């Protein structure tokens, strides 16, 4: 009877494989259903006075004799039936039956701790996670997403103060912004120079995993520098203007594209013409430099005629 008690204890704490080995060694049999094991083992039946052997049937509740159940995951954006992760994220998978081993079919997409069930996204794609318990296997397909890929910003890298141009990005759905406010940019990529300086234009694309930024350095130039470098954007310079004003007698006149000849003259307060010039800009935007630094400080009138269009502006020389 003591041997039977010892055998019962062994069967309770040993694995199903050990119990099966004991059955095989004694010529008995074992069957299981759920967590219950029924074992018939060939041992002497000392309780009834037999020394030649017989078969004793034992019923044992074995806590580890089970099968893999459904796999569940807990992560933002996931449901029990769909596991969604971002590359670099981790989450915990669980199975309704404890004691099994976890594995990943494609570790280039996701990895998982064999005993912890902690899965880590590696790269975008789908992977199959398996949970194995005594030959029973449960699987779950997981999806790994990545941060959005964003193309490089294209377009001219300089814009004149007051002018505009258009920047582009082949990736749709992004948001344009200016980091330092030397320029402004609209939702369609039209960038306008505001003040002289080096700005950075950003194009941001967002998905469930986060935001990716494409950055573009933009040099905002003065109108004078643009004329020197022959940089002319798609002008909002549709009008003639004079800058700087006031000035020390040296200033610039912006002349928009025209097929007509510009006639420029400067008149003092007494009506005397102190400067005149005929300018043909060949239908191109032009920055015309003027030097009247030899005159006394005061107010002067700039008169410009272009075909039927006349322009007048007062300038102050100090």
Average pLDDT, integer, range 59-84: 50
* CA–CA separation, 235 and 233 (whole Å): 5
Give the other-Cβ count within 10 Å of 198's Cβ. Answer: 11
pLDDT given at position 158: 85
Per the prediction, the chain carries an average pLDDT of 77
pLDDT given at position 120: 94
What structural domains does the chain harbor? 2-61 (no CATH), 71-145 (2.60.40.1080), 158-225 (2.60.40.1080), 238-317 (2.60.40.3080)
Average pLDDT, integer, range 306-311: 82
Average pLDDT, integer, range 5-21: 42
Angle between helix 16-26 and 2-13 (nearest 10):
140
* CA–CA separation, 94 and 116 (whole Å): 9
Which is higher by pLDDT, 138 or 26? 138
| Residue range 114-125, pLDDT digits in tens | 999 999 999 999
Band (pLDDT 50/70/90 cuts) for residue 65 is very low
pLDDT given at position 85: 86
| Residue range 227-277, pLDDT digits in tens | 555 454 544 445 677 888 889 999 988 888 888 899 999 999 888 999 999
* CA–CA separation, 94 and 91 (whole Å): 10
The percent helix, strand, coil of the chain (3-state, each to 5) is 10, 50, 40
Band (pLDDT 50/70/90 cuts) for residue 134 is confident
Cβ-contact 117, 94 below 8 angstroms: yes
Band (pLDDT 50/70/90 cuts) for residue 80 is very low
Q: Is the pLDDT of residue 314 over 60?
A: yes
Selection from 66, 69, 89 nearest residue 80 by Cα:
69
Helix count (H) and strand count (E) of the chain?
3, 25
Percent of the chain with pLDDT over 70: 69
| Residue range 138-176, pLDDT digits in tens | 888 899 999 999 999 998 888 888 888 889 999 999 999
What pTM did the predictor assign?
0.49
Band (pLDDT 50/70/90 cuts) for residue 66 is very low
Q: Is the pLDDT of residue 137 over 70?
A: yes
pLDDT given at position 95: 86
| Residue range 161-216, pLDDT digits in tens | 888 888 999 999 999 999 999 999 999 999 988 999 999 999 999 998 999 999 99
How far, CA to CA in Å, does 16 sit from each of 4, 11, 94?
18, 8, 23
């Amino acid at each position: 009877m003591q041997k039977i008690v010892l055998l019962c204890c062994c069967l309770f704490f040993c694995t199903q494989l050990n119990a099966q080995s004991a059955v095989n060694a004694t010529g008995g049999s074992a069957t299981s259903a759920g967590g219950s094991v029924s074992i018939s083992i060939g041992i002497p039946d000392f309780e009834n006075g037999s020394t030649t052997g017989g078969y004793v049937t034992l019923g044992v509740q074995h806590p580890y004799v089970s099968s893999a159940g459904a796999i569940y995951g807990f992560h933002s954006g996931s449901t029990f039936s769909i596991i969604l992760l971002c590359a670099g994220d981790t989450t915990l998978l669980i199975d309704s039956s404890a004691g099994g081993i976890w594995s990943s079919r494609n570790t280039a997409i996701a990895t998982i701790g064999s005993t912890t069930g902690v899965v880590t996204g590696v790269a975008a794609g789908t992977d199959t996670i398996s949970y194995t318990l005594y030959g029973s296997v449960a699987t779950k397909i997981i999806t790994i997403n990545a941060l959005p890929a964003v193309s490089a910003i294209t377009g001219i890298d300089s814009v004149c103060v007051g002018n505009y141009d258009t920047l582009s990005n082949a990736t749709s759905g992004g948001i344009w912004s200016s980091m330092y406010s030397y320029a402004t940019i609209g939702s369609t990529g039209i960038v306008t120079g505001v003040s002289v300086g080096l700005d950075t234009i950003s194009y941001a694309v967002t998905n469930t995993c986060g935001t990716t930024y494409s950055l573009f350095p933009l040099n905002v130039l003065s109108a004078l520098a643009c004329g020197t470098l022959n940089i002319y954007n798609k002008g909002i310079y549709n009008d003639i203007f004079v800058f700087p004003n006031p000035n020390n007698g040296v200033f610039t006149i912006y002349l928009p594209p025209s097929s007509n000849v510009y006639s420029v003259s400067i008149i003092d307060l007494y009506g005397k013409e102190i400067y005149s010039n005929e300018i043909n800009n060949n239908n191109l935007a032009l920055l015309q430099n003027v030097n009247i630094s030899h005159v006394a400080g005061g107010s002067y009138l700039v008169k410009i005629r272009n075909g039927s269009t006349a322009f007048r502006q007062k300038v102050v020389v100090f």
